């Protein structure tokens, strides 16, 4: 009797350890315990694509996660097994399966995946599978994101397999073969084109609209079309120094259909027009930098005194908040439209364009100086300036007309009849 009791306690201990080791199905899918059926299906759709082995080759952890996600969905989507799991946990589900639960093939994670996304359960790697068209979208981010890098999100509206009916188009899951075309979707019609001459013509079956399948009770969500339009959010990693209009490929994230494997979602990353935001980091000088490849361009405005006399300092706030200081000593003149090149203050060079062995490099910042003249001058200031310049002109001034050999009067041009 004592031995039997010890064995029973050991068995219970093992079950407790297994129950603790297994991850909670609700946490695994990232949903609450009162999640609706639609929320469970949406969570499965998102996570199964993220951890699919085709997208994570050689990653055993991702493979195990993919299998676990399918198992969690399989349990929680069924009313009976979900009730058992909520009451008895993983042990209850194991006992239910051993006691004659649903057939084992229903738990195949790739079969489950194919019911949601079409194909053979893989991302277009099966030979002969139809592949849907790619979808191309433009996503705009500010220049500071190209400079600093950023992990963000974007949302696109796409066609998705209806999760309410899992792409069957039927409310009760019953799909029947069309009795008029035998499931072929087409009918062979005979047409007499002349006495004694008959031609066979293949036409789309009008009863099933060429689908070969029919449902008596259409899904109320998709209306029997098997697909719906819905927004889908994707993670976007903008890397430092990425070029504008770079193409970022999201494999098998285009429009879905039960009849094909989804194509790719291609994102064209573009730059938004510069504008002041509300946060401090959105109101820097760098917001209005202009980019050309790996270089940045900035236009700095100087007064006549600053351009002529020097003796000034300016602080430009860069895209990441650091300061670039511009200055001139007294007596240093800057000509209008002069350009100063400041090395290593341009765009970071994208890691794919870096020379081998170089971890980080930057382009240059080109500063163009624009000199603004005053619209008018105070009379006393005008008198003082004029006096100083007249004195200097009389002492060292030259006549540009004489210097450049310009004539003092009009020049006679030859007539039309002269050669």
Q: Which of 229, 276, 246 is nearest to 140 (CA)?
A: 246
Residues β-bridged to residue 218 = 170
- pLDDT band for position 45 (cuts 50, 70, 90): confident
Which pLDDT band, with edges at 50, 70 and 90, does 127 fall under? Answer: low
Structure token digits, residue 355: 């020379």
Q: Does position 1 have pLDDT exceeding 50, yes or no?
A: no
Q: List C-alpha distances in Å: 63 to 77, 125, 369.
A: 21, 17, 59
All CATH 1.10.287.110 domain ranges of the chain, comma separated, are 16-117
The predicted model scores a pTM of 0.72
Please, are residues 177 and 212 in contact by the beta-carbon 8 Å criterion? yes
Q: Quickly count: other Cβ atoms within 10 Å of residue 260's Cβ.
A: 17
Residue 298: Cβ within 10 Å count: 20
- Number of residues assigned to the chain: 419
Predicted pLDDT of residue 3: 47
Domain with CATH 2.60.260.20 in the chain: 280-372
120 confidence band (pLDDT: 50, 70, 90):
low
pLDDT at 88 over 70: yes
pLDDT 10s digits, 202-225:
788 877 777 777 888 889 998 888
What is the mean predicted confidence (pLDDT) over 318-344? 96
pLDDT for the residue numbered 119: 61
From its phi and psi, is residue 167 left (phi > 0), alpha (psi between -120 and 50) or beta?
Answer: left
Fill in the DSSP letter of residue 149: -
Pick the CATH number of 280-372 from 2.60.260.20, 3.40.50.20, 1.10.3720.10, 3.40.50.1240: 2.60.260.20
Q: Would you state the pLDDT for residue 14?
A: 43
Of 205, 229, 226, nearest in space to 215 by CA: 226
Q: What is the CATH number of domain 16-117?
A: 1.10.287.110
Distance, CA of 156 to CA of 247 (rounded, Å):
16
Candidate from 53-62, 133-142, 265-274, 298-307 with smallest mean pLDDT: 53-62
pLDDT per residue as tens digits for the range 165-215: 878 888 887 888 887 787 777 777 777 777 767 777 778 887 777 777 788
């Amino acid at each position: 009797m004592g031995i039997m009791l010890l064995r029973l306690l050991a068995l219970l201990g093992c079950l407790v350890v297994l129950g603790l080791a297994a991850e909670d199905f609700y946490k695994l899918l990232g949903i609450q315990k009162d999640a609706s059926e639609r929320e469970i299906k949406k969570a499965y759709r998102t996570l199964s694509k993220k951890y699919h082995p085709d997208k994570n080759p050689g990653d055993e952890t991702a493979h195990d996660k993919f299998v676990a996600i399918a198992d969690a969905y399989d349990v929680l989507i069924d009313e009976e097994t979900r009730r058992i799991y909520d009451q008895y946990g993983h042990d209850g589900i194991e006992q239910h399966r051993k006691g004659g639960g649903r057939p084992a093939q229903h738990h195949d994670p790739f079969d489950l995946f194919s019911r949601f996304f079409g194909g053979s359960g893989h991302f277009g790697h099966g030979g002969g599978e139809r592949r849907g068209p790619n979808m191309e979208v433009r996503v705009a981010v500010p220049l500071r994101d190209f400079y600093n890098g950023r992990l963000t999100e974007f949302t696109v509206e796409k066609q998705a397999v209806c999760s309410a009916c899992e792409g069957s188009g039927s409310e009760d899951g019953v799909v029947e073969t069309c009795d008029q075309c035998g499931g072929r979707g087409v009918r062979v019609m005979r047409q007499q084109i002349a006495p004694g001459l008959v031609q066979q013509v293949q036409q789309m079956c009008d009863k099933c609209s060429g689908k070969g399948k029919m449902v008596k009770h259409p899904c109320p969500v998709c209306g029997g079309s098997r697909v719906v339009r819905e927004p889908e959010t994707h993670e976007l990693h903008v890397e430092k120094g990425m070029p504008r209009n770079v193409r970022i490929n999201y494999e098998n994230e285009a429009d879905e259909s039960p009849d094909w494997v989804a194509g790719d979602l291609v994102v064209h990353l573009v730059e938004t027009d510069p504008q002041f935001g509300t946060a401090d980091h959105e109101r820097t000088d760098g917001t209005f930098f202009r980019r050309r490849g790996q270089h940045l361009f900035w236009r700095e405005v100087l007064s006549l005194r600053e351009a002529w006399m020097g003796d000034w300092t300016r602080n430009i706030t860069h895209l990441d908040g650091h300061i670039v200081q511009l200055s001139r000593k007294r007596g240093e003149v800057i000509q209008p439209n002069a350009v100063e090149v400041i090395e290593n203050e341009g765009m970071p060079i994208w890691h794919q364009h870096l020379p081998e062995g170089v971890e980080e490099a930057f382009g240059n910042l080109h500063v163009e100086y624009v000199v603004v003249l005053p619209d008018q001058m105070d009379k006393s200031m005008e008198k003082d300036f004029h006096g100083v310049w007249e004195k200097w002109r009389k002492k060292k001034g030259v006549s540009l007309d004489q210097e450049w050999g310009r004539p003092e009067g009009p020049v006679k041009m030859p007539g039309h009849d002269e050669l």
